[in-house]
């Protein structure tokens, strides 16, 4: 969950920035933001625009806009900051449109949008197209609202040659492209709670020739994860649950690192021949109905596919299930002399 977790950590920093700004005085001079040195020289304002843009990129866009009232020097600095972070749960659509209309940087390095889709599908489409038209390299889209289902991205979303890192987190999104996918620069892809079919996933993967890292977190409706045509892919992370079953087999001959967690039923590893690191945190919620022979057979098959693994980490629940199988523990603990962390 590395990519998604990085966004969560950045959001935590954003929250801290909001809280800090809310305690500042309305008078910039009292906050020590301008005219703070002994001779009245404004050190921060004297910094090059590139440095100021970097500073403003680390705070929410709403807070960055507030700096425009500090002085004439700051009036338009935020407009050229190449990073936008918008939480429209707290902002009306008109304000967001006005913000984007004032934005003057030719390129966006990072665009983060968190919003509800209720009565906003058309504006959301236009905001996504805005990010794409400004060649956003990092694109994070979070839509959390159970009242809206089956949202489809505009075709322009799937034909983006500049995005390098893409995160989509939503139970409302149906990732079924109606057009050819062309994410020719994409290296990191994270999809959470998205609806995927086997056909749509293959279509997406075929449009990502440089993909290096793939996260599929609680995605449903696809059964076979075939990554054999993704030669650059090195890392796969997948979460499954009782409600989001995900694939029942994985074909990933090129990956070096695998993280597989929370599987209701065993997921068959068809080909992971290049794997050197694996993290398996698996539980069988139907363990009471599974026979020891069935459980042993699936675990043995999984271990047999980990021949080249140098580091194997297993969760405590999975380890306990294996130990409960008796004689299987000897096979498990001696396999290739691996070290098992719990």
For 36-58, write each residue's pLDDT tens digit. Answer: 444 444 677 777 777 876 777 77
Three-class SS of residue 57?
A: coil
Whether 242 has a pLDDT exceeding 70, the answer reads: no
Cβ neighbours around 95 below 10 Å, total: 14
Q: Residue 244: pLDDT above 90?
A: no
Q: Order of strands across the sheet with 268-271? A: 224-226, 249-251, 268-271
Distance CA 230, CA 210 (A): 8
d(CA 234, CA 130): 31
Structure letter (DSSP) for residue 284: -
Q: What's residue 231's pLDDT?
A: 96
Q: Is the pLDDT of residue 266 over 80?
A: no
Can you tell me the distance from the alpha carbon of 335 to that of 266, in angstroms, rounded to the nearest whole number?
19
Please determine, for residue 204, whether its predicted confidence score (pLDDT) is greater than 90.
yes
d(CA 126, CA 285): 43
Which pLDDT value is given to residue 48?
A: 73
Contact between residue 320 and residue 291 where contact means Cβ atoms under 8 Å apart:
no
265 CB-contact burial (10 Å; exposed 0-12 / middle 13-18 / buried 19+): middle
State pLDDT tens for residues 157-169. 999 999 999 999 9
Report the half-sphere exposure of 280 (CA within 13 A, side-chain side). Answer: 25
In this structure, the chain runs to a length of: 342
Q: Across residues 316-338, what is the average pLDDT?
A: 57
Measured from the Cβ of residue 218, the count of other Cβ atoms closer than 10 Å reads 19
Question: Which residues are bridge partners to 268 per DSSP?
Answer: 249
- Flag whether pLDDT at 35 surpasses 60: no
Segment (H or E) for 236:
strand 235-239
Cβ-count burial 303-327 (b if 16+ within 10 Å, e if not): bebbeebeebbbbeebbebbeebee
Range in 237-246, 301-310, 326-335 the model is least confident about: 326-335
CA dist 199 and 297 (Å) reads: 30
Q: Which residues pair with 139 in a beta bridge?
A: 111, 166
Distance of alpha carbon 322 from alpha carbon 188, whole angstroms: 33
For 47, phi then psi, to 5°, come to -70, 150
Residue that wins the pLDDT comparison between 79 and 289: 79
Percentage of residues of the chain with pLDDT beyond 90: 31
- Measured N-to-C along each axis, helices 121-133 and 93-102 cross at an angle, to the nearest 10 degrees, of 20
Q: How high is the pLDDT of residue 155?
A: 93
Task: Evaluate whether 197 touches 173 at the Cβ level (below 8 Å).
Answer: no
The CA–CA distances, whole Å, from 307 to 78, 275, 342 equal 53, 8, 20
pLDDT at site 106: 84
Of 209-218, 228-237, 278-287, which gets the smallest average pLDDT? 278-287
Distance between CA atoms of residues 143 and 128, nearest Å: 12
Instruction: Write down the mean pLDDT value for the chain.
Output: 77
Averaged pLDDT for residues 64-93: 76
Cα–Cα distance, 50 to 39 (Å, whole number) = 25
pLDDT of 294: 65
pLDDT in tens, 186-200: 999 999 988 888 899
Beta bridge partners of 83: 110
At residue 146, does pLDDT exceed 60?
Answer: yes
Taking CA atoms, 75 is separated from 41, 78, 95, 97, in Å, by 18, 8, 18, 19
pLDDT at position 184 is: 98
Hey, CA dihedral for 54, 58, 60, 66, is it positive or negative?
A: negative
């Amino acid at each position: 969950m590395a990519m998604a977790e990085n966004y969560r950590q950045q959001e935590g920093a954003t929250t801290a920035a909001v809280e800090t700004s809310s305690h500042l005085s309305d008078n910039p001079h009292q906050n020590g933001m301008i005219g703070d040195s002994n001779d009245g020289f404004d050190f921060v304002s004297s910094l090059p625009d590139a440095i100021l843009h970097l500073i403003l990129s680390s705070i929410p866009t709403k807070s960055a806009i507030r700096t425009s009232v500090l002085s004439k020097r700051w009036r338009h600095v935020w407009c050229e900051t190449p990073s936008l972070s918008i939480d429209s749960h707290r902002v009306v659509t008109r304000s967001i449109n006005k913000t984007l209309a004032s934005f003057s940087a030719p390129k966006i390095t990072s665009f983060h949008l968190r919003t509800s889709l209720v009565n906003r599908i058309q504006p959301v489409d236009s905001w996504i197209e805005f990010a794409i038209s400004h060649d956003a390299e990092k694109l994070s889209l979070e839509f959390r609202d159970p009242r809206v289902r089956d949202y489809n991205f505009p075709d322009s979303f799937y034909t983006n040659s500049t995005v390098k890192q893409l995160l989509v987190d939503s139970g409302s999104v149906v990732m079924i492209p109606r057009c050819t996918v062309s994410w020719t620069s994409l290296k990191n892809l994270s999809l959470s709670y998205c609806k995927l079919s086997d056909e749509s996933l293959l279509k997406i993967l075929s449009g990502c020739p440089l993909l290096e890292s793939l996260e599929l977190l609680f995605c449903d409706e696809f059964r076979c994860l075939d990554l054999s045509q993704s030669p650059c892919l090195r890392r796969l992370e997948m979460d499954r649950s009782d409600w989001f079953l995900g694939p029942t087999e994985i074909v990933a001959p090129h990956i070096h690192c695998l993280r597989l967690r929370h599987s209701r039923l065993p997921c068959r590893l068809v080909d992971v021949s290049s794997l050197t690191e694996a993290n398996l945190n698996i539980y069988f919620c139907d363990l009471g109905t599974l026979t020891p022979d069935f459980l042993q057979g699936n675990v043995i098959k999984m271990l047999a596919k980990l021949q080249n693994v140098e580091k194997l980490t297993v969760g405590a629940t999975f380890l306990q299930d294996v130990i409960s199988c008796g004689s299987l523990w000897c096979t498990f603990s001696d396999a290739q002399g691996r070290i098992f962390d719990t």
